[in-house]
Structure 1
Amino acid sequence: MTVLEWLNHRPAYAGRVAAFASWELLPWILNAQRSGIACNGEGPPIAQPATERERALNDFAAELPPYWGATRFDAPTGLGALEYLRSHHPRVLYVMLGETDEWAHGRRYDLYLDSAYRNDRFIRQLWETAQRMPEYAGRTALLLATDHGRGDGAADWTDHGRKIPAAERIWMAAMGPGVPALGVRANVTVTQSQLAATVAALLGEDYVREQPKAAPALPIANR
């Protein structure tokens, strides 16, 4: 059971966990039917548009070409997540962007860098939007991570997986109340598997206690 599903089944978070992604497999990854998490991974970024702004966002998304089949560009994913934040006020919001991976697989380093820049811009917009909202200002943490690394040479930078040793290296970042400003860390071994318990710990919950197989939280959560 993912930490998102675990939280969504707890009274304080029921119906207030949401996930947006550019990858159409998101509802299956999070087992949307069982977990009850509001998942949006393909098609219109707003499932039930109620305003002209939301309908315009869906119209914009519909005009984008299906360049990678059902996998969409990051723009509608990010804009949909921002709109959901404004209108539904979730307590936990997960956003998975995917263009950098797609462009890298296509050996388009120029567009890989361009999409990374736009991802940075979205992260800033997400944070600043939250800080303008009384529900989130001064009481919201932000966790960032990549789901995998990439090869570190000219021949394999486009790929990842078991045959690409460098792909096991990723980066993570955290900020917000309860997260000490430690700067860039060195000589500290942490793993992506620790993010689940960290999300829970930042909310004052103990995921490891109920999911003993989970890795411990990162040594940053102080709530």
Structure 2
Amino acid sequence: MNNNEQVGTALSDQELITSFFQKLNPKQAPELSQQFRTAFPSLSEFKGASQQQRLDLVNSGVEELQLMLIGIELGRRVARSSRPVLGKIFSSRQIGQILIDEFQDDFQENLCLICLDVKHRILRQQVVFRGTLTTCPVHPREIFSIAIDCHAESIVVAHNHPSGVTEPSENDIAFTKRLNQCGQLLGVTLLDSFVIGQNDYLSMREAQLMD
């Protein structure tokens, strides 16, 4: 949180309104703030106001009041907007091939996280760690922090083997089981864990290595 956000959250509703007008027109800020408060004594009254009451403020011809209503409307639309969806997963084969194309020529080991909603639509996909030639240090809390941040219903993780071999190591299997257990506790399902090779992949779910 930056300084402006910290200041904003510390102010009362009326102080925040005055602060807004201070940024637009310092000399007339008290008058503008009073004009807004006269029309809407509280933000709850503004929220419950009719469309015509709000239009009356817009039609007053005061530019600063118009800008404030535009800002409020933008905030309202942001609050109501849906989360971004990047695509949809239909099968292990689909995601495996996508990840092969992405990581097959990478000489570093990468851990990729894919966050999904309840309909298995992709909300976020990102590489959360890049390791050395043979290692990729990672902790479950980092993975689930991202998943919880985007309100994921489930996740898929995948890492590549620079050697090109898809056989999972004991550490790979142990880490996947640990993720699975953490997900069960947090209510975020680990759908699958992939090992990506040069031209192939291994699904730990299909290989029954997750439980």
Q: TM-score, normalised by structure 1?
A: 0.30
Greater strand fraction, Structure 1 or Structure 2: 2
- Structure showing greater radius of gyration is 2
